[in-house]
């Protein structure tokens, strides 16, 4: 199995929705039992109960967080992103890479991941992304040029 790295970017509709998403992704605050979860968020708990946990969560501003994952599969991360649907987030994105040089950017639309960009689609853009080390700044660049609005 190849080593994977991923960034999940969540954009809340307000500070409270971003904080709730962080609450469920953080191993220190994530509830252990369904009984601890408010009824409207039970679907979030169920979707994330056995999901991978990020190795780091970065708060970018009041409404935006990046959660960094290692060795998670795209399907697991898709479940995380779809599972957060009940929190009424404004936008959900995923950057995924493996050590085999596969790198791709996705956005959640409805209940599925939609590709925004995959490595080798554009040599000039690939160079910019390499210069940015394929990190959160690169994700911001892809979101910006894709015409996606937060």
Could you read off the pLDDT of 30-86 as tens digits, one per residue?
Answer: 999 999 999 999 999 999 999 999 999 999 999 999 999 999 999 999 999 999 999
Q: State the average pLDDT for the chain.
A: 91
Task: State the Rg of the chain over Cα.
Answer: 15
For residue 120, the number of C-alpha atoms closer than 13 Å in the C-beta half-sphere is: 3
The percent of residues above 70 in pLDDT, for the chain, comes to: 97
pLDDT of the residue at 44: 94
Which band of pLDDT confidence, cut at 50, 70 and 90, is reported for residue 120?
Answer: confident
Q: Phi and psi of 76, rounded to 5°?
A: -65, -45
Distance of CA 83 to the CA centre of its chain: 11
pLDDT of the residue at 121: 85
Which band of pLDDT confidence, cut at 50, 70 and 90, is reported for residue 149?
Answer: low
Query: Does the pLDDT value for residue 1 go beyond 80?
Result: no
pLDDT of the residue at 147: 76
Query: Does the pLDDT value for residue 148 go beyond 80?
Result: no
Contact present, 66 and 57 (Cβ < 8 Å): yes
Which band of pLDDT confidence, cut at 50, 70 and 90, is reported for residue 98?
Answer: confident
E strands within 1-147? 4-11, 56-61, 64-70, 91-98, 103-109, 112-118
């Amino acid at each position: 199995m190849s080593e994977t790295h991923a960034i999940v970017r969540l954009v809340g509709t307000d500070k409270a929705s971003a904080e709730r998403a962080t609450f469920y992704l953080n191993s220190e605050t994530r509830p252990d039992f369904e009984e601890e979860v408010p009824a409207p968020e039970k679907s979030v708990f169920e979707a994330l109960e056995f999901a991978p946990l990020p190795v780091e969560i970065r708060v970018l501003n009041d409404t935006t967080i990046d959660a960094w994952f290692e060795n998670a599969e795209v399907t697991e991360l898709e479940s995380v992103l779809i599972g957060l649907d009940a929190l009424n987030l404004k936008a959900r994105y995923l950057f995924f890479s493996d050590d085999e040089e596969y790198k791709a950017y996705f956005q959640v639309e409805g209940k599925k991941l939609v590709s925004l960009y995959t490595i080798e689609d554009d040599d000039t853009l690939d160079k910019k992304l390499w210069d940015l080390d394929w990190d959160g700044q690169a994700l911001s660049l892809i979101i910006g040029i894709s015409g996606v609005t937060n």
